Amino acid sequence: MSFNSYIFILCLLPISFIGYFALSRKKQEYGLLWMAASSLVFYAWAGISILLLFIASLILNYIFTLFIKRSNSKLILALGIILNVILLIYFKYSGFLVQNINALFNTDFIFKNIALPLGISFFTFTQISWLVDTYRGETRDYSFLEYVLFISYFPKMAEGPIALHGDILPQFRDPAKKTVDYDNISRGIMIFVLGLFKKLMIADTLGKAVDWGFNNVPDLYSMDIWIVMLCYTLQIYFDFSGYCDMAAGISLLFNIELPVNFNSPYKALSITDFWKRWHISLTSFLRKYVYFPLGGSRKGTVRTYINMMIVFIISGIWHGANWTFILWGALHGACQVLHRIFRKPFDKIFAPVRWFITFLFVNIAWLLFRADSVAQWWYMVGKAFGIKYRTMHEELVSVFKIPRLRSVLSVAGIPYSDMGVYVFGMVLMLCVCMFICLVPRNNLERQHKTNLWTLAVTMVLFMVCLLSLSNVTSFLYFNF
């Protein structure tokens, strides 16, 4: 089930909301049980077999939790982590591994495609964090119901954040959060609607240009590639930002504040700064459960750089089963190392220049992230920097046409061409997107005033989005 669907917005969400607060009044456990059941229904929309697999994973990990509590055994902890990683590899990476084995050893093994369980990358890391924290003695007084709710809580289920138990469960135990908070409802709805608008009206529009570009790579001109690259950079920004806003807004309805997972990353002045703003929960998880256990920066300079590279290669692998993701992670890791080495001279560079260098690298890396293969990415980068053709395909820029603009120009007696109208729409769209990325504070930082003006804007945006739900598209991070 997706946040941008009628069944979720008009059915599951209001039923979950009403049931949660109605039952919490009678007994706290009833409300938690209702929320856990709602989360499992949300997950069941991906398929009953997928739900059964998820439940089996929950039960198996909780059994490991019980053994770890009793024995405090590092061996049992290691077995639990290995089992989770094996399941993740089987469902997400088996095809990739078989493909590379066939290419390397000239074999012809066949691996049948397996349905990827919804959010498996997210709930695997979440359960690993639970096992580690249990070993450290931090989860000893939580019940099985609380454990199930922590893992399956539907606002964070599909795309995160990768929250820790201390981020969520104490809030579910807080009696003050068991009554309806109309201020949180107002803020939650506004943040949710703004996120929905980002996804449907901005990210999906940009996605049409990106899809056309990658469906016609051999025919692209140099300028086309720059447009497609920038469009994907903005698409993944508004897609992921939109999801983060929607998840935070939904959770606020239940008086639960999710950890901030997105903080205007394109304002970053370095790659280090970028990763403090983009997918913050993933960065925090890898730092706490991978980088620090490897020794962090405590074992010398060379070991620090190796640890950094390991963390970012794992981040790349986590995102997907393709060499493009592995190289993407390695490139980000290498830039992190370079920034650490040359931090002092780099930080003295004029700030706009640092921003441009960072943003250009992010664009080129995102192109690799989206490419079907490393070879395709390299071909596109080479062609982009060749600047051989300054023209653009009309089919690409026509994605940005503004409805009825030509009629207005005709009535006003202003001469125009179809290509000129399309380019105007494209430039306007990209400039507005860049303005939103770079100038205002993000939704979670702003003070959302509950007045008639914000109510009117929220209602208008919601109606526009609701009328656009006929063509539901998945979020990009659903694939990871």
What local confidence, expressed as pLDDT, does residue 451 receive? 76
Boundary-marking domain end, from 144, 179, 214: 179
- Copy the structure tokens of residue 192: 């949710």
Q: Which domain holds residue 267?
A: 185-479
| Alpha-carbon separation of residue 316 from 128, 156, 166, 242, 333 (angstroms) | 18, 21, 26, 22, 10
Hey, CA dihedral for 171, 143, 140, 62, is it positive or negative? negative
Label residue 258 by pLDDT band (50, 70, 90).
very high
Question: Does residue 250 sit in the same domain as residue 320?
Answer: yes
State the average pLDDT over residues 255-275.
94
Label residue 115 by pLDDT band (50, 70, 90).
confident
Question: Does residue 19 sit in the same domain as residue 160?
Answer: yes
Cβ–Cβ contacts within 10 Å for residue 455, how many?
14
pLDDT tens digits, one per residue of 10-25: 999 999 999 999 999 9
The mean predicted confidence, pLDDT, of the chain is 90
Residue 480, pLDDT > 70, answer no
Question: Does residue 134 sit in the same domain as residue 256?
Answer: no
Residue 470, pLDDT > 80, answer no
**Residue 153 near residue 54, CB atoms below 8 Å:** no
**Around 391, how many Cα atoms within 13 Å sit in the side-chain half-sphere?**
5
**Residue 191 near residue 155, CB atoms below 8 Å:** no
Question: Does residue 248 sit in the same domain as residue 122?
Answer: no
From 50, 157, 40, 55, select the one nearest 114 (Cα to Cα): 50
Question: Does residue 85 sit in the same domain as residue 121?
Answer: yes
Residue 168, pLDDT > 70, answer yes
175: preceding bond cis by omega (within 30 degrees):
no
Label residue 46 by pLDDT band (50, 70, 90).
confident
pLDDT tens digits, one per residue of 124-162: 999 999 999 999 999 878 999 999 999 999 999 888 899
- Copy the structure tokens of residue 370: 């989206």
Q: Which residues contact 415 (CB under 8 A, 6 or more apart)?
A: 409
Question: Does residue 345 sit in the same domain as residue 462?
Answer: yes
- Report the alpha-carbon distance of residue 328 to residue 319 in Å, rounded: 10
Question: Does residue 415 sit in the same domain as residue 328?
Answer: yes
Boundary-marking domain end, from 145, 179, 213: 179
State the average pLDDT over residues 239-265.
94
**Residue 249 near residue 190, CB atoms below 8 Å:** yes
Domain count, the chain: 2
**Residue 196 near residue 460, CB atoms below 8 Å:** no
- Copy the structure tokens of residue 371: 């490419």
Q: Give φ, ψ of 148 to 5 degrees.
A: -60, -45
Residue 1 lies in a domain: no
Question: Does residue 250 sit in the same domain as residue 324?
Answer: yes
Q: Give φ, ψ of 201 to 5 degrees.
A: -95, -25
Question: Does residue 270 sit in the same domain as residue 416?
Answer: yes
Boundary-marking domain end, from 155, 179, 203: 179
Label residue 472 by pLDDT band (50, 70, 90).
low
What local confidence, expressed as pLDDT, does residue 448 receive? 67
| pTM for the full predicted model | 0.93
Q: How far is CA 274 from the centre of its chain?
A: 14
State the average pLDDT over residues 249-256.
95
Residue 72 lies in a domain: yes
pLDDT tens digits, one per residue of 277-319: 999 999 999 999 999 999 988 988 999 999 999 999 999 999 9
Residues catalogued as catalytic: 319
Question: Does residue 13 sit in the same domain as residue 124?
Answer: yes
Proportion of the chain above pLDDT 70, given as a percent: 97
Residue 464 lies in a domain: yes
State the average pLDDT over residues 445-449.
70
**Residue 127 near residue 57, CB atoms below 8 Å:** yes
State the average pLDDT over residues 458-475.
82
pLDDT tens digits, one per residue of 389-402: 668 888 998 988 88
What local confidence, expressed as pLDDT, does residue 47 receive? 84
Residue 76, pLDDT > 90, answer yes
What local confidence, expressed as pLDDT, does residue 388 receive? 67
- Copy the structure tokens of residue 135: 């070993």
Residue 465, pLDDT > 90, answer no
- Report the alpha-carbon distance of residue 462 to residue 475 in Å, rounded: 18
Label residue 479 by pLDDT band (50, 70, 90).
low
Question: Does residue 433 sit in the same domain as residue 467?
Answer: yes
- Report the alpha-carbon distance of residue 167 to residue 280 in Å, rounded: 14
State the average pLDDT over residues 342-351.
93
Question: Does residue 135 sit in the same domain as residue 253?
Answer: no
Cβ burial 435-445 (10 Å sphere, 16+ → b, else e): ebbeeeebbbe
From 257, 259, 308, 265, select the one nearest 286 (Cα to Cα): 308
pLDDT tens digits, one per residue of 356-385: 999 999 999 999 999 999 999 999 999 998
State the average pLDDT over residues 193-211.
93
Q: How far is CA 41 from the centre of its chain?
A: 22
Angle 447-171-65 (CA atoms, 0-180°, nearest 5)?
140
**Residue 305 near residue 340, CB atoms below 8 Å:** yes
| Alpha-carbon separation of residue 36 from 69, 396, 399 (angstroms) | 23, 45, 42
- Report the alpha-carbon distance of residue 369 to residue 332 in Å, rounded: 11
State the average pLDDT over residues 203-222.
93
- Sole residue written with tokens 């993701």: 325
